[in-house]
Structure 1
C-alpha cells in the first residue's frame, strides 16, 4: 500500500487542504457533498415534482429506491471488476450520479423520476464509500480521523445548504433545475478523477459478489424503508419484524459462507470490528428520532415551521462541532471520546422526555432553551466519536479487505438511518400520534419515542466500552 509522506502528529483538519492534499480533499469532499446536498435538495422539491407531473402514490419510493441503491453502490466498491483502481471507480460513481440527475431533470413522469433516483443512488453510494476507501491512499495515518471529521462537517453544512437550494427551485417546473444544476459538477469531478486522485491500486484477494447477503440486505432495506412510509400501523410493524428477521438470516449466511459482505470478523461479536459496526448502526438509529421533532415542536411548543426546522438543524451542527472538537484526540482519549459521545446521545435523548414531551402553549423560553441544548447534545455526542469509529474500522480490517470495510461503514449508516426511521414511525403511530392525536396524543407519542430511542444509544455505549481492551491505540 502506498501512502503520502507522513504528516506531523499534531496535524489539524486544515492540513487536509495543504498543497499536498488539496486536490484529493476537494475531490473526496466533493463526492460526499453531491450525495449530502442532493439528499436535502430532493426532499425539499419533491412536493413540487408531484404537483407538476403527478405520481403521489409513488412519493415514498423516491427515497426508498435511493437508499436501497446507495447500499448497492457502497457494496460495488468491494466487488468491482478485478484490477479496477479506485480513481476509475470514482469516475463510474460520478458519471452514474450525473446520469441519474439528468434522467430526473428530464423525467416526464414519476416512474422515470424513480429510475433516475435509483441510478443517482447507486452513484451516490459509490462516491460516499470512496471517501472512506481513499483515506488510506490519499492521506498519512495521522490524518485519517481528520478526513472523517471533514465528511461530518459536509453533512452538517448540507443540512443548511440543501433545503435552501431546494427552496429556490421549489416552484412550478423549476424543480428540474435542482437536478440539472449538479450535472456540471459531477461531470468535472468524474473527468478529473484519474488526475487528481491517487490510483488506489486493487489489492483485494476476493472480488466475488456475496449475492445471497446482498439480496437479503436490499430486501431488508426495502421493507424497512416502506415501513417508514406506510400509514397502516399493523403492516408497518410486520414489515419491521420481517426486515429484522431478514437481517438475522443474512448474518447467519455471512457467518457460514466463504464469500462475505463484511470484512473478517464483521458479524463475530468476539471481534472488535463487529462491535464498531454495531456502535455505528445504533448511534445513527437513535439519532433519526429527530424526524418527528419538528412536528412535536410545532404542535406542543407552538413554534413556527421555520423555527422548528432550524432547531432540528442544531443536531447536524452539533455533529459537526463535536467532530472538530475531538479531531486531534488519539489513544485513550480517543476511546474516551467515543464512550462519552454515546453516553451523551443517550442522556440527551432520554431527557427530551421531560422537555420535548410537554404541553407548552405559551412557548415558554426555558423549555425551548432546554430542547435546544439537548438537540445540540444529541448531534455533538455522535460527532465526538464518529470519526474515531471510522479510524477503528480502517485499522482493524485486514489489508486486503479495507475496501470491504469502507463499504461496511456506508452500509451501517444507511441501515441505521432506515431502521431508525421505520421504528420511529411505528412507535409514534402506535402510541397516540394518530389516535387520539392532539396534545395528549403527541405527549404520549413523544414520551414513548424518546424513551425507546434511548435504548439503541445505550447499546452503542456498551459496544463502545467494549473497545477499550480490544482495539489498539492509535
Structure 2
C-alpha cells in the first residue's frame, strides 16, 4: 500500500530566517537593502555634496547615471557568459558597490562622484536582480511569495531609513563618511557570498547579448532624465518624445530579435507576462510623483522640512504594512489584491489634486490629515500588489528564461522610478512651479501633477482586471 505524502506545514515569513534559510535571506535582503537605502541616502546628501565641492549643474546626473548603470547591471545577470554562476555575480556586484562607494567617499570633484555613482549603480543592479534570481534556488516554492514580500517591504523601509541616515551626515564634509561606511559592509558580503549562497545555474552556452535593445533602453532613460532638467518647455517635450520613440523602437526590435532582452512574450500585450511587467512599471511611475510632496507640504501648507520628511515616510509605512497584510494571499485572491492595490494607488494619487494642491499656510490639521491618509494610501496600494507581481513573474516565465525574467523585474523598477521622476519634473516645471512660481504656481503644478499621475494607476488597474479575467 502506497504511503500518503506528509502534509507540509503552512509557510510563514519567519521561515525565511530559520535554519538553512537564515544566511541566504540576510545576504539577499542585505544586497537589496544596500541599494534601496543608498538611493535615498544619496538623494538627501546631494545638496551637501554640491555645497562642499561644487557641481550644481550636474546635480541630477548623480541619479541618472546610477539608474542607467543599474539597468546594465541587471541585464548582465540574464546575458552573463557561460560558466559564470549566480554567486560569482553576487561577488562582483558587492565588490563593485564597495569600490563605487569608496570612489565617492574620496572624490575631490563632482565628476569623480559621478564616476563612483556609476560603479555603484552597476553593482546595485546586479545585487537587486540576484535577490529575485536566487529565490528559486534558495527557498522552496512555498516561500517564494514570502521572500518577495520581504524584499518589497525593504523598499518601503528604505524610504524612511535612507533620508534619516542621510540627514545625520548632511553637515559639511560628513557626507564622505556616509559613503565610506558602506565599503566594509559591501566587501564582507563579497567574501561571504561563495560560502553562504548556492552557485545557481551555470551557463553552458553563451547567450547572445541584445546590444541594440540595451542601447535604446539606456538612451530612453538618459533622454527623459535630460527632459526633467532643461528649462524650455518645447525642448522638454522633444526629449520626452525622443525617449518614447526609443522605447517603441526597442519593443519593435525585441519582437523580432534572436537575442532578446526580455522573456518570450514579454512585449506582447496578449501575454500575461507582458501585462504583469507593465503593471509594475506603471505603479512605480505613479509613485514617483512623491518626490514633490515635501516641496508642496512646505510651500503650501507651512510644514517644516523635518515634519514633511516624516509625513512622506508614511508612504513607506503604507507599502510595508500592505506587503505584510497581504503576504498570505495566493491564487485568485493574490490577483485581486494586485487589482485593488492599483486602484487604491490611483485614487490616493488623484486625491492629492484636491488635498495637497491648496493654500494652507496655517497648517490646518483638518486639511493635513486627509492629505496624509492619501500619502499613506499611495504606498499601501503598491504594497498590496508588488510581492504578488514578483511571484507571478517567477511562475509564469519559461523555465529556461528565469534569469531574464528576474532581471526584467529590476529593469521595470529602475525604468518606472527614472521615467516617473523625470516626467514629474517635466509636468511640474511646465505647469507653474517655475513660472509664475509662488503659491499660485505651486497650486497649479500640484493640480496638474497629481491629476495626471493618477492615470498610470488607472491603466494598471485595467490591466490587473484583465489578469483576473484570463485566470
Shorter-chain TM range is: over 0.9
> What is the TM-score of this pair, normalised by structure 1?
0.95
Paired residue total: 466
**CA contact under 8 A between 2:283 and 2:382: conserved in structure 1?**
yes
Separation in structure 2 between the aligned mates of residue 150 and residue 7 of structure 1, nearest angstrom: 25
For the Cα contact (< 8 Å) 2:94–2:186, is it kept in 1? yes
- Unaligned runs of at least 5 residues, structure 1: 1-5
Q: Could you tell me which residue of structure 2 aligns to residue 405 of structure 1?
A: 405
TM-score (norm 2): 0.96
Q: Is the contact made by 1:346 and 1:457 (CA closer than 8 Å) also made in structure 2?
A: yes
Change (3 A) 1:152 1:248: same
- Superposed CA deviations along residues 235-286 of structure 1, whole A, max 9, x for unmatched, are 2221111101100000000011111000000101111000001100000001
Q: Deviations over 1:134-169 (max 9, x none)?
A: 010111111111111111221222222222222222
CA shift for structure 1 position 203: 5.6
Shift of 1:231: 3.0
Counterpart in 1 of 2:44?
A: 44
Q: Which residue of 2 aligns with 1:356?
A: 356
For 1:9 and 1:445, locate their aligned partners in 2 and report how far apart those are by CA, in whole Å. 53
- Tell me how large the CA RMSD over aligned residues is: 1.5
- The secondary structure found in structure 2 opposite 1:108 is coil
Instruction: Report Cα offsets for 1:292-315 as digits up to 9, x if no partner.
Output: 111111111111111111111111
Cα distance between partner residues in 1 of 2:74 and 2:335: 27
CA deviations over 1:71-100 (Å, ceiling 9, x no partner): 000001001111211011100100111111
Q: Identify if the C-alpha distance between structure 1 residues 106 and 369 changes in structure 2 by more than 3 Å, giving closer, same or farther.
A: same
Shift of 1:172: 2.3
Separation in structure 2 between the aligned mates of residue 183 and residue 467 of structure 1, nearest angstrom:
43
Which position in structure 1 is the counterpart of 2:297? 297
Cross-structure match for 1:3:
none
Q: What is the correspondence of 1:388-399 to structure 2 with a 5 Å cutoff?
A: 388-399=388-399
1:456 to 1:7, Cα distance in 2 relative to 1, 3 A: farther
Q: State the partner residue of 1:335.
A: 335
Decide whether aligned partners of structure 1 residues 51 and 300 sit closer, same or farther in structure 2, where only a CA change above 3 A counts. closer
**Do the aligned partners of residues 217 and 375 (structure 1) sit closer, same or farther apart at CA in structure 2, a change above 3 Å counting?**
same
CA contact (8 A) 2:277 2:412 kept: yes
Q: 1:246 matched to which residue of 2?
A: 246
Partner of 2:59: 59
Superposed displacement of residue 106, structure 1: 1.5
Q: Which runs of 5+ in 2 are unaligned?
A: 1-5
CA contact (8 A) 2:82 2:205 kept: no
Tell me what 2:269 maps to.
Answer: 269
Tell me the distance in 1 between the aligned counterparts of 2:260 and 2:465.
27
Residue 228 of structure 1 deviates from its aligned partner by 2.0
**Is this contact kept in 1: 2:41–2:166, CA < 8 A?**
yes
